Amino acid sequence: MPGLSYYGGVAQLTAANPNTPVIVVTSSEDPKDTQLALKAGALGYMSKAMKSSDMLKAIQLMLNSGISLHPNNQLANDSSSTSATSEPASLDKLTPRQQEVLNRLCECESNKSIALNLDLSKQTLKLHVRAILHALNAENRTQAVIADKRLLF
């Protein structure tokens, strides 16, 4: 991306094409790079070193759950409820609308059903799910539901 920083290019691409998922495939496994890619709007982040079958599974997970990180990334594997910025998972970080979405995720509702019931577009719902996953330091919907239950009790 001549003339742009790497993450500036990702941000520009996602801003120009908000309905197109962007997945960063890189040789870097630095958690800071992961965080920058996600902040720039990337849906997911994975390593070039992955087997093609694992890449396919990761892409499917990203498209189905809203966000994913390479399995070898510490942020993805860390189950101690800390993010790359060492902030603890918290339900307080969620907006009231995101809390509504999380409640419906906990009821195992599909994205389509949640969007319909809350009168949201698919893209807006995906943004809410992405924010929920980030706030709860979760890689996917299942981890978010588990984190929600842990934080409530």
Least confident of 14-18, 82-86, 97-101: 82-86
Q: Which domains does the chain have, with CATH numbers?
A: 6-77 (3.40.50.2300), 91-152 (1.10.10.10)
Nearest-Å Rg of the Cα atoms of the chain is 15
Give per-residue pLDDT as tens, 87-143: 566 677 788 888 899 999 988 888 899 999 999 888 888 888 888 888 888 888 888
What is the rounded CA–CA span in Å between residue 127 and residue 146? 20
| pLDDT reported for residue 116 | 92
Q: Higher-confidence residue: 138 or 62?
A: 138
Tokens of 49: 């070193």
3-state secondary structure of 49: coil
Half-sphere exposure of 92 (CA within 13 A, CB side): 4
Give per-residue pLDDT as tens, 24-54: 888 876 777 777 777 788 887 887 877 888 7
CA torsion 104→107→112→115, rounded to 10°?
-10
User: What's the start-to-end Cα distance of the chain, in Å?
Assistant: 47
